[in-house]
Amino acid sequence: MDYNTLLFMHIASAILLLGVGGGSAFYKFMADRSKNLDVIVHTNKMVVLADWLFTTPSVIAQPITGVMLANLMGYSFDDLWLILSVNLYLFSVVLWLVAVLLQISMRSVSLEAQAKSIALGKRYFRVVNYWIVLGILSFISMGGVFLLMIFKNRL
């Protein structure tokens, strides 16, 4: 595969990864703040779906296209910027995976509350807070990866 095609795939998957992740996080955050159970249920379902349809393929595409680009460009996997990038990426992905498990749990809890016509309890909103912290840390880590990709030659 040529450089331009790989670079396009790498950048497009990065845009999807952060764009869908950021958009989903915003809508979920706002839905949870509304305390409107119907809105929360619908948003939880859509956030989980968006992760499966868009974020998961992007999470998979990023390291594949990244390794292919690094090989094509002749970078050494001993380069500090690449080691740091890979470690930050892995850290971000682990946080994302935990957040996805929390999203699935919140979806189930909200659906059950809706089916039983009961309010969401404090436990649900405590999990929301954990999810927010994971998301912030994951986005900061991904931001670090982006900075390393851009400024790699300065390390």
pLDDT digits (tens, 9 = 90+) for 4-59: 999 999 999 999 999 999 999 999 999 999 999 999 999 999 999 999 999 999 99
Checking if the pLDDT of 155 tops 90, the result is no
Q: Using the Cα atoms of residue 96, residue 27, residue 132 and residue 141 in order, give the sign of their dihedral.
A: positive
Q: What is the pLDDT of residues 36-48, one digit of tens each?
A: 999 999 999 999 9
Checking if the pLDDT of 63 tops 80, the result is yes
pLDDT at 92: 97
Q: What is the mean pLDDT of residues 96-104?
A: 97
How confident is residue 123, by pLDDT bands cut at 50, 70 and 90? very high
Q: What is the C-alpha separation between 130 and 150, in angstroms, rounded? A: 30
Q: Which residue has the tokens 């309890």?
A: 121
Report helix, strand or coil for 6.
helix
Q: Please report, for residues 1, 9, 21, 59, the alpha-carbon distance to residue 4 in angstroms, rounded to integers and kept in the order given.
A: 9, 9, 25, 20
Instruction: Give the mean pLDDT of the chain.
Output: 95
